Structure 1
């Protein structure tokens, strides 16, 4: 079984670097839109900056996955995070010198999105290279816990740093990316032992997409995640509207959304102990998600949505960890980067539409009715998933 995960120096380096950089990212996820709104007076442009980053990330996912499978994953991870550190530092410098125009935010958001597209599959394949297969489920659970802890600590820290100075959150972000790059540099990530003939990048991507298409269970799981990401993202604005309708302010809304981080940490602790097959587990998660979304509309006060949000966040890491472990078992190592990019693209391609859907429902009917519609759609998805083939099959090479 090898050394315990807590003594695996390479994993701990990657985990610590990821934890630090994710904290920096969550800090600026609040600071950046607040600053754009302060500079332009328009929430639309704050959304445009976020949309530019998301679009760049989605557009770069597949070529980034192909690149990771072709080139050294450690070097890819180091350079991606180094460029992100540089972009954050440039933004901080622009703010300090009074040159933080909208175009600067847009360009650097695109750079950050592209780098994230490369860092994601590079990190995924690096973890699989340094962690024994029997410990990967626990490793993925620790990754989930890291993300949820950052979501709890990042926004209030971002608000505190903004109060200290507009450029401070971005200076901190630059430092965290630099720390992550140094950690990745010192992590001894082994080179791949399997080699394959080089071909055009589009053929590499096509091979991976064909492999996924032939795996019916994985393909259907990806489709379920596509719907879940869309409907999950569409609930955020209705929750904000609901809290406001009940007399809550911005601080109250922040307390409500803290339920996601609190529940996610608990779910990450439980995830390694869950042994249900991913197909059954995803149906159960959908049912819990749907019922909790419906429950948020219950007239129990401003802070009531905290509870169903926390319950939803408890079950989310269970399926994330189970599916990550499943992909590790089934996907060939030299295809993992491409599959990571393709599945991330396929499961998130509709995510940019989520705020539009949630905003439309909340604007047309109010926060409570919008949540009822979203919850009902999730339960419908659960029924469809229950009658779909979500069973994984043995890996095959095309």
Structure 2
């Protein structure tokens, strides 16, 4: 069958689709992925509920904007120190403790919503406490894939994590809005707490995960060791710089309302489609992630994805019509997924296990801070010029930055990943 033309076409099609081999071959990964997928959905629901509760009690955009700060600041301040801690102790234990901490925060949000609503500052304090757990739990979770999967399945596992994240981003806010509108914010928070229980149970079956041959030194010394490793490892340094430059120079989210008003008469239906288009493009890329996770040069794949992101945004700014612009945003979302999965593959294949917590913390910080700074940059440029100029110039700056990193970082261009095993190329069995 595989030797016939139809068999070869079937094999090529299966190789182009999302590779679910890690879910079939590793029970611990399957349970972890299921639990984290559910908790990601719950977290997106809670974000909607928090925004709604804060708005209802203040009717102030300053307070709703503070929700993002409450989530970001703990990760930025504690991230590197949390990464050093992850590299000193059992990573499974850190993840279980921080997941339990997030569940407790969700339960406290539930109780205050159902019994005695807190003032806005109290709600934000609980959000910040939950984010403190994310600061340590996130880097710990990022170290699991190399522990649980053979190296040739690493990219496939990262692609599965990415589609889980995107699915939560697509479905979570809509579901959170429905639950909040129909049953109240308390039920939304309670749902989040239950999903954290699923994440906790999914991680219980994980093996003990020691940090490696050499534990991180305590405190600032451990952080400095991690930063020194980043500085002397061109492939990882180039990957993080590419991601930071791309998001800082061309993040478009804050421009969407203005672009919608300037180009498409401010129709709210169009505005809603802007974000949806980016997410849909990302999901499609994830579904067909076999086309790039099996390629032998993830560094080149990342550079190509980042450059395509810039091209798509520049074309979106110059697009003559709404549907063309939305198509460009879908292309940008697909390129972002390609870049993120390839970047994580480069980082995790070039980082020793004993440093993976600190490097993962740096990756998490870049992913948190870059988009926030990029959205601020875009808003400032748009205030001085126009939304279209800010979007087009951001895309062009992104292309230039990616080209600069590519030219100056040969190790990133040549960074390789293990080839998939023959079994992963074969058609899936029953």
Question: What TM-score results when the alignment is normalised by the length of structure 2?
Answer: 0.84
**C-alpha root-mean-square deviation of aligned residues, in Å?**
2.4
Name which of structure 1's ranges 140-149 and 210-219 shifts more when overlaid on structure 2.
210-219
Number of the residue aligned with 1:72: 90
Question: Is the CA contact (8 Å cut-off) linking 2:88 and 2:211 kept in structure 1?
Answer: no
What does residue 190 of structure 1 align with? 208
Gaps of 5+ in 2: 1-20, 416-430
Match of 1:93 among 94, 97, 111: 111
Q: Deviations over 1:299-332 (max 9, x none)?
A: 5444543211111111222222222222222211
Q: Aligned to 1:141, which of 159, 167, 172?
A: 159
For 1:167, the equivalent position in structure 2 comes to 186
Could you say if the C-alpha distance between residues 95 and 293 of structure 1 is closer, same or farther in structure 2, counting changes exceeding 3 Å? same
1:27/1:297 CA distance change after superposition, 3 Å: same
Partner of 1:199: 217
**Residues 1:176 and 2:195 are matched in the alignment:** yes
Q: Which residue of 2 aligns with 1:386?
A: 406
**C-alpha displacement of 1:382:** 2.7
Alignment partner of 1:242 is 2:259: yes
1:102 is the counterpart of 2:120: yes
Question: Structure 1 232/11 Cα, relative in aligned 2: closer, same or farther at 3 Å?
Answer: farther
Q: Secondary structure at the match of 1:71?
A: coil
- 2:135 corresponds in structure 1 to 117
Partner residue, 1:359: 379
CA-CA distance at 1:173 after TM superposition: 1.4
Cα distance, 1:31–1:303 mapped onto 2, change above 3 Å:
farther
Paired residue for 1:307, among 310, 327, 335?
327
The SS at the match of 2:185 is coil
2:300 to 280, 284, 287: 280
Q: CA deviation at 1:148?
A: 1.1
Runs of 4+ in 1 over 6 A off after TM superposition: none
Distance in 1 (CA, whole Å) between partners of 2:211 and 2:195 is: 32
Match of 1:167, SS?
helix
Structure-2 separation of matches of 1:73 and 1:197:
12
CA distance in 1, matches of 2:216, 2:385: 54
Equivalent residues, number: 391
Aligned to 2:15: none
- 1:110 positional shift: 1.3
* Aligned position for 2:27: 9
Q: What is the aligned partner in structure 2 of residue 38 from structure 1?
A: 56
Unmatched tracts of structure 1, length 5 or more? none
**Structure 1's 129 and 230: CA in aligned 2 closer, same or farther, altered over 3 A?**
same
The Cα of 1:80 is off from its aligned counterpart by 0.9
Deviation for aligned residue 1:84: 0.8
Q: Deviations over 1:272-313 (max 9, x none)?
A: 432162343233223311221122224544454321111111
Moved more, 269-278 or 85-94: 269-278
Q: CA deviation at 1:251?
A: 4.4
1:343 corresponds to which residue?
Answer: 363
Equivalent of residue 327 in structure 1, options 347, 362, 365: 347
2:334 aligned with 1:317, yes or no? no
Q: Against the structure 1 CA distance between its residues 66 and 325, is the aligned structure 2 distance closer, same or farther, given a 3 Å change threshold?
A: same
The secondary structure found in structure 2 opposite 1:305 is helix
CA distance in 2, matches of 1:132, 1:100: 47
Q: Distance in 2 between matches of 1:157 and 1:240?
A: 23
Listed as ranges, the matches of 1:246-257 within 5 Å are: 246-257=264-275
Aligned residue among 41, 57, 82 for 2:100: 82
User: Does residue 1:289 correspond to 2:309, yes or no?
Assistant: yes
